[in-house]
Structure 1
């Protein structure tokens, strides 16, 4: 399909929100010409995208899959003990929805209410949450939708380790819930839902749901991939188009070659928390001081552009599990027979295959007790009183189990593993991103701000202890992989301990099996009470310091960037208003997670879709058209690709 030089609406960025806006607008009015410009490749029928179980490969910098752009802190951070954090940003149509972990969670009601923006309260947004969902799990509340384009299910299978995890989680006082994503529950465990269609086994990504489905039946949606929007074209303060460049400047030091496309009605920036502020600044929208230094004409002086960068933080700890456990380790390790078997399963019955799961089958949301708060220090307690105490729907931490080691298997000893993730949902730390040149190929200045507020250490430390107690109470537990735990003093009672399975079996009485941590045994068939089997580990101040050092050395992004073009009053550093208009401009909106003025306690794919749906409604209202639903049917059969599974085994 040819690409016109002028359309009605241009969307710059094909992540989840951009796909929603493009698809909704084009489907609403077949006469409306819409162009979607994406910096990465087309994701259509890419087996590295649609097969859920190989998502780990998309996160690697190995030259095979170029599906992410990596932003590294411009300077070493004293808060990370001299380390520079790395934040990957999706570089493919569908954005993070094409390569993410596929974990389905939703923000709490108070998260949206905290935006303090007209039309953005949770009660206003629930109809849009339901509109986007094709929820495929049984549930006992009225917050989910069943006819939308985004499929949500438990995936093809749930491993026994997940049930083991849930039982052990209950043993430490975290109750089971049939739906932690009801916008209200903040303390409980559940079988984690996934962005996977149970009928096809495929990943449910935003481009397939909103863009390809429209382009298959209509001719008014134009898609340009492998093209990076450099800047917005203004006439005065009115946005009238964009300039884009090839995603890679193949000729070193060559002049930037721009292509101009004009927009008759509107330009929508949806290039994400890291991309959108850079486009704005190259266009003359941002801090006047910075723009003048770079010799960029100031269109609108908005010092908030690129500021208040937020993320969620994660640490992970790895444990050995029994040889009978079902894990993804052999597959991830590269065992050729395991890979051949698993890919063959997909070809026969993808909806039931192991590849139709992400192996992240269970998780929790938790809030500390009064006793636990006393141990978390004054910095976090001040944050608790200000932010969490009177909002019982906000979880402080998420946790999840992966049935396998999320690590470089070439560096691990043989065996089977489980990984415990700890996710900090509302960090107090903040960062920033700003351009260093008008040239779109030059790296920006980036400061992730990770852990630059001391209040963020205590909840991660607390959650590490929680997941460790859960692991030790699981029947499958066989020891701690010490290389993936804090470096406690060897004499400490908290020291991580691996277990020599061969020696342990020789020491066991007849009829007993390895049970729990540090020399305690459990006889099969006997009533199992984890809290009687052993006591919680006791930690000293020195142990807590070891955990904090480990956090600084290992804390990572969760790929949940948000907040650099905040929706709040201009006088408070805001960049967009409640209708997503960029202050000081006309016909220019931002529709992505950069608009969040505060954090959202969730895996942010659900929030990006929701911001896209809200943005689509606002734009349709201004254009005098209406969103049509259902948007598109969710396919119930795999689409053949003509590419044999063996080509995927590398």
Structure 2
């Protein structure tokens, strides 16, 4: 399909929100010409996208992966003990939905209410939450949707170690729930759902659900991949009239930037994400006038909030040895050819039941600290607790999850079976920023992730490490802690990490020991490890806490959950967009992505990006006098409603 030089609506950025916006609008009116511009490759029918179990490959920075862009802190951070944080961003159609961990969670009701914006309360957004979902799990509440384009299920299979995890979590007081994604539960553990279609075994990504399905039945949605949005074009009245884009990779000679211009008759929508959208705005003349003047960029609208208040969620991970009988993904990940061949063959024969139709993240929890735990968490976090969490019981402070395998470089690990415990801080108080250093779209921006620059974030991460360690110790599969992936405690401390050894084995098997070494672990088939013998939590000293804090500074990472650089709030408070997502000081220009969040969202952010896209599509449709259509109200001559392409595999 050729690409016109003029369309009605241009959407810049093909992440989840951009795919929703472009697909919904194009489907609403076959006569409306919509162009979607995406910097990455097309994800259509890419087996490295649609097979859920191989997502780890897309996270690697090894010269092979072309589906992610990596932002590195411009300056060394004293808060990270001289380290520079790295924040990957998806660089593929569908954005993070094409390469993420596929973990299904939703923000708490109070998260949306905290936006304090008309039309954006949880009650306002609830119908859209249900509109986007094709929920495929048993459920005892009415908070989910069943006719939408995005499939949510348990995947092809749930590994047995997930039940072991849930039992151990219950042993330390975390109750089991059949659904902690009901918008209100903040203390509980569950079998963790995934963005996987249980009928096909495929990943449920936003491009397949909203873009490819429309392009299959209509010819008014134009897709341009491998094209980086450079700037928005304005007329003399600050009305957006088009977009300039460039090839994603600069092959021009002499540093020349070769732009292609596309005109927009009705609307320009920026949906390039928390790190991309503020850069496009600044190159377009929308941002802090002082910075723009320094760079020689003509000021269209002076908005100092552009690029400020960057937010993320923080994760640390710890590895534990598990028994030889524990089913994990380790042999697949370490490259055992027979295992890999077997698993790929499973996929070809029966993908809906295959091991590769799972992400191996089968269970997790949300948690708030108890009154006793709060006493140990210091004044900085307690001030944040009293101000932000105390009166909002639906907000979890941390998430935790188990991976049936080592999320690590197996070439550096001792042989054996592992589980990975992920700990996530959901509402960090720290903030960062991103700003362009040149009007040239190929020049890397100034980036400060801001990780841990607010001391209130230290204590809850320390607490989350202790919690996940106590769960692991109580699991029947537990066989020791991998010392290289834990804090460095003093060897004489009761908190010191214990890898498997003869003495540990004797304690685990007090009735006698049959020593056999297989894949580096101790094994006694006739007597499983008795986790019920673990009664007391590990006692940590101040020195131990310091060791944890140093380890956190050295190892805390992004969760790919960037938010908040173009906040939806009043202009005088540093806002960039209004309640209808219009960019202040401009016309016909909206931002529709997670950059608009004025506060954090306690969730894996795919669900929220979809929701912002649905809301944005509604607002734009209202502006254009259109009605968003669902499968219950199909467009004439369009027999396949949005998202139905996800129901059956494409051959």
TM beyond 0.5: yes
CA 507–403 in structure 1, closer or farther in 2 if over 3 Å, else same: closer
| C-alpha deviation, 1:61, in angstroms | 1.4
2-structure distance, mates of 1:199, 1:634:
12
CA 629–74 in structure 1, closer or farther in 2 if over 3 Å, else same: same
* TM-superposition CA deviations, 1:501-529 (whole Å, max 9, x none): 79937994667799xxxx9x999599x77
2-structure distance, mates of 1:398, 1:55:
20
Does 1:564 find its partner at 2:575?
A: no
Runs of 4+ in 1 over 6 A off after TM superposition: 511-514
Does 1:288 find its partner at 2:286?
A: no
| C-alpha deviation, 1:633, in angstroms | 1.6
* Aligned partner of residue 261 in structure 1, secondary structure: strand
2-structure distance, mates of 1:225, 1:635:
21
CA 500–2 in structure 1, closer or farther in 2 if over 3 Å, else same: same
2-structure distance, mates of 1:610, 1:216:
24
* Aligned partner of residue 308 in structure 1, secondary structure: strand
Q: Say whether the 8 Å CA contact 2:213–2:645 is kept in structure 1.
A: no
Structure 1 residue aligned with 2:152: 152
| C-alpha deviation, 1:555, in angstroms | 0.1
Structure 2 residue aligned with 1:303: 304
Does 1:80 find its partner at 2:74?
A: no
* TM-superposition CA deviations, 1:507-553 (whole Å, max 9, x none): 94667799xxxx9x999599x773x5331100000000000000000
Does 1:638 find its partner at 2:649?
A: yes
Q: Say whether the 8 Å CA contact 1:513–1:524 is kept in structure 2.
A: no
Q: Say whether the 8 Å CA contact 1:22–1:211 is kept in structure 2.
A: yes
Structure 2 residue aligned with 1:67: 67
Does 1:50 find its partner at 2:73?
A: no
1-structure distance, mates of 2:144, 2:283:
40
2-structure distance, mates of 1:269, 1:552:
34
Does 1:627 find its partner at 2:628?
A: yes
* TM-superposition CA deviations, 1:191-210 (whole Å, max 9, x none): 00000000000000000000
| C-alpha deviation, 1:637, in angstroms | 3.1
Q: Say whether the 8 Å CA contact 2:80–2:554 is kept in structure 1.
A: yes
CA 286–353 in structure 1, closer or farther in 2 if over 3 Å, else same: same
* Aligned partner of residue 211 in structure 2, secondary structure: helix
Superposed, 1:203-242 pairs within 5 Å as 203-236=203-236, 237-242=238-243
* TM-superposition CA deviations, 1:295-325 (whole Å, max 9, x none): 0000000000000000000000000000000
With structure 2 as the length reference, what TM-score do the two structures score?
0.95
2-structure distance, mates of 1:495, 1:513:
26
Structure 2 residue aligned with 1:319: 320
Superposed, 1:525-564 pairs within 5 Å as 530=532, 533-564=534-565
With structure 1 as the length reference, what TM-score do the two structures score?
0.95
* Aligned partner of residue 581 in structure 1, secondary structure: coil
Q: Say whether the 8 Å CA contact 1:318–1:418 is kept in structure 2.
A: yes
Superposed, 1:94-113 pairs within 5 Å as 94-113=94-113
| C-alpha deviation, 1:500, in angstroms | 3.2
Structure 2 residue aligned with 1:2: 2
2-structure distance, mates of 1:544, 1:477:
24
| C-alpha deviation, 1:251, in angstroms | 3.4
* Alignment gaps of 5+ in structure 2: 516-521, 632-641
2-structure distance, mates of 1:632, 1:336:
36
2-structure distance, mates of 1:28, 1:331:
44
Worse-matched range after superposition: 378-387 or 59-68: 59-68
User: Aligned residues, how many?
Assistant: 633
CA 512–266 in structure 1, closer or farther in 2 if over 3 Å, else same: same
**Cα-Cα RMSD:** 1.8
Q: Say whether the 8 Å CA contact 1:7–1:263 is kept in structure 2.
A: yes
Q: Say whether the 8 Å CA contact 1:102–1:196 is kept in structure 2.
A: yes
Structure 2 residue aligned with 1:476: 477
Q: Say whether the 8 Å CA contact 1:404–1:416 is kept in structure 2.
A: yes
Structure 1 residue aligned with 2:180: 180
* TM-superposition CA deviations, 1:220-243 (whole Å, max 9, x none): 000000000100000021000000
Q: Say whether the 8 Å CA contact 1:512–1:522 is kept in structure 2.
A: no
Q: Say whether the 8 Å CA contact 1:13–1:36 is kept in structure 2.
A: yes
Structure 2 residue aligned with 1:344: 345
Q: Say whether the 8 Å CA contact 2:462–2:549 is kept in structure 1.
A: yes
* TM-superposition CA deviations, 1:7-43 (whole Å, max 9, x none): 0000000000000000000000000000000000000
Does 1:495 find its partner at 2:506?
A: no
CA 507–554 in structure 1, closer or farther in 2 if over 3 Å, else same: closer
| C-alpha deviation, 1:120, in angstroms | 0.2
* TM-superposition CA deviations, 1:235-270 (whole Å, max 9, x none): 021000000000000235331000000000000000
